[in-house]
Chain A
Amino acid sequence: MIALLTRDLRLALRAGGGFGLGLAFFLIVVVMVPFAVGPRADLLSSIAAGVLWIGALLACLLSLDRIFALDWEDGSLDLLATSPIPLEGLVSIKALAHWLTTGLPLVAAAPVLAVMLNLPPQGFMPLIISLLLGTPALSVIGTFGAALTVGIKRGGLLLSLLVLPLYVPTLIFGAEAARRGADGLDITTPLAFLAGITCGTIALLPFASAAVLRINLR
């Protein structure tokens, strides 16, 4: 299991591994927003938390199809499926690797981009905490979507269509926590819901992902 994780991380960091693409996309989305809505500082600071959440979500979505597609194309997935690692473990590791290479850098970059969007000072901590709690759920749900579409050629658009509705609860609670934090309100309730969703998806969704992967390999 550790071997699989280190391999995936190493592959992501080597040339063509796609590490940093999500981060760059996040940057671009956030930079585009002021061009679209205008440079007024008060307007930007009121939408900053939401924009950062949607940017992080889209950046996460962008890198989902890589989770299984490469292993599928070169036959590794067949070989891994017949190896001693259970498929449930395989999909969990894949989700973890995706979070480490995409989710975690996004969390780290968010405060920097938040400065550019005039996020109020009291909003930084809630933003980081909500992203830290929410992005693992995005990775786990995304892994399910990637497992569903692994056999489909050019399934990227379909993957987005399937995954985005599943992201709704995470986005609502995560962005709600970040927004309330920016307004200086209490954030415990949305954070508790967000943590609940993250724990629930981590505990249950790998079984569904493994099931659909098994169907797709057949």
Chain B
Amino acid sequence: MASLWEYANPKKFIATSDRVLPYLGGLALVCLVVGLSWGFWFTPEDFRQGHSVKIIYLHVPSAFMAINVWIMMLVASLIWIVRRHHVSALAARAAAPVGAVMTVIALATGAIWGQPIWGTWWVWDPRLTSFLILFLFYLGYMALWAAIEDDDTAADLTAVLCLVGSVFALLSRYAVIFWNQGLHQGASLSLDKEENVADVFYFPLLVCIAGFVFLFLTLVLLRTQTEIRARRMRALQARERLG
């Protein structure tokens, strides 16, 4: 059986991702269209929150992705540190802006939702605050990538930052819970059935989450390809200079 590490070869990665991309993109489109229209037009209104509940179909998937993108970056950074596969470092780099945008979407939809329900755009609630801090981590990570000229040095440094940042992000999460107990409702999705949203909201929500996952995969593959090609261009230019 072919090893997973074969895809660490940039050429092989580009060839394979080229084949996969149309399907992933298509799946993302279908899931998002089906999930969002199901959620927006074919679910009942919440008896307390009215139609404003429907923003859940954007809010929950983006919040879910905001965290998971960071975890994916952490895994990719670890792979880079341990096995030094360059594609994984570039994939981490490619994922960061997507994660940052997901965080912004989660924060913005949260604010829009919070206005009618809590009567305020923003509260210093533990969840909101944690997401804000996560966003700052994304910013720092991207800024460090952008600031360093040498590709390998940048990959090494950002990988360490990602590791250390993950620990501190976790610490911050517990710190803000301690700091303020908060308004935010419990998890919309969890293994504990009691806490979950009602089934009628649950299934379209799952479809939307699947859509966001596919969307993320599509974007990350595309961006990784771009990073690989940019890197290749720099390598070619370097060789040109050497003559």
Binding site for B on A (CB under 8 A): 144, 148-149, 151-152, 155, 158, 161-162, 164-166, 168-169, 172-173, 176, 189-190, 193, 197, 205, 208, 211-212, 215-216, 218
**Besides the contacts A152-B147, A161-B139, A166-B168, what 16 more A-B pairs have beta carbons closer than 8 Å?**
A144-B164, A148-B161, A152-B148, A155-B147, A158-B147, A161-B140, A165-B169, A165-B172, A166-B165, A168-B175, A168-B176, A169-B168, A169-B175, A176-B179, A211-B160, A212-B160
Q: How far is the CA of A144 from the CA of B137 in the complex (A)?
A: 15
Contact A218 to B153, CB < 8 A, known contacts A161-B139, A162-B144, A165-B133: yes
Q: Is the CB of A172 within 8 A of B161?
A: no
Closest to B134 in A: A165
Chain B residues with CB under 8 A of A148: 144, 157, 160-161
B227 at the A/B interface (Cβ < 8 Å)? no
Chain A residues with CB under 8 A of B164: 144, 166, 205, 208
Closest to A196 in B: B171
Binding site for A on B (CB under 8 A): 133, 136-137, 139-140, 143-144, 147-148, 153, 156-157, 160-161, 163-165, 168-169, 171-172, 174-176, 178-179
Q: Is the CB of A215 within 8 A of B144?
A: no
Chain A residues with CB under 8 A of B168: 165-166, 168-169
Q: How far is the CA of A208 from the CA of B160 in the complex (A)?
A: 7
What would 27 A/B residue contacts be, using CB atoms closer than 8 Å?
A148-B144, A148-B160, A151-B153, A152-B148, A158-B144, A161-B136, A161-B140, A162-B140, A164-B136, A165-B137, A165-B168, A166-B165, A168-B168, A169-B171, A169-B174, A169-B175, A172-B176, A176-B178, A190-B178, A205-B164, A208-B160, A208-B163, A211-B160, A212-B157, A215-B157, A216-B153, A218-B153
